[in-house]
Amino acid sequence: MKLKINTDGFEGYAKRALERARKLDRREAIKPEITITFEDPLAMVEVLTAERLRLVQKVRTKSSSITALAAALKRDPKSVRRDVLKLERAGVVRTRQQINPGHGRVKIVEPVAREYRLTAVL
């Protein structure tokens, strides 16, 4: 699955939705994808900072716990936890609980798609 991130606001969203509806009316096959639309590029870079993009890149190669991500990125676990929450709320990553034998549960961070495509229009 592909994740597209756009910065064209409601107008871009409406245009894509209308095109998708036309394809459905013509009974054309539509590839599954996830689209996130920000109002403008500034709103996107508020969520997708350089550090958060590094986190997404790391998760795309291997789903990891927040502690493992913090160690791999050489960052404070609290900061990574906050970044994961922000990215999860935006729909860029997802988390799941996993049993950690002898230590309770651990939160695993994983990508929502195999491919991420960011498009910013100024």
15-50 confidence digits (pLDDT tens): 999 999 999 999 999 888 899 999 999 999 999 999
- With 90 as the cut, is the pLDDT of residue 100 above it? no
Cβ(39)–Cβ(58) below 8 Å? no
**The two three-digit tokens of residue 35, written as one number:** 């689209």
Domain residues for the domain of 56 are 2-119
The chain-wide mean pLDDT, for the chain, equals 92
- With 80 as the cut, is the pLDDT of residue 107 above it? yes
> What pLDDT, on the 0 to 100 scale, is given for residue 31?
86
Of all helices (H) and strands (E), which one includes residue 18?
A: helix 9-25
CATH code (residue 22): 1.10.10.10
> What pLDDT, on the 0 to 100 scale, is given for residue 20?
92
Residues 6+ apart with CB under 8 A from 112: 1, 3, 34, 91, 92, 93, 94
pLDDT band at 2 (very low <50, low <70, confident <90, very high): confident
Q: pTM for the complete prediction?
A: 0.83
> What pLDDT, on the 0 to 100 scale, is given for residue 76?
96
Cβ(32)–Cβ(1) below 8 Å? yes
Going by C-alpha positions, the residue among 30, 64, 73, 57 that lies closest to residue 115 is 57
What is the average per-residue pLDDT within 91-107? 89
> What pLDDT, on the 0 to 100 scale, is given for residue 99?
85
Report the number of distinct structural domains present in the chain. 1
- With 80 as the cut, is the pLDDT of residue 103 above it? no
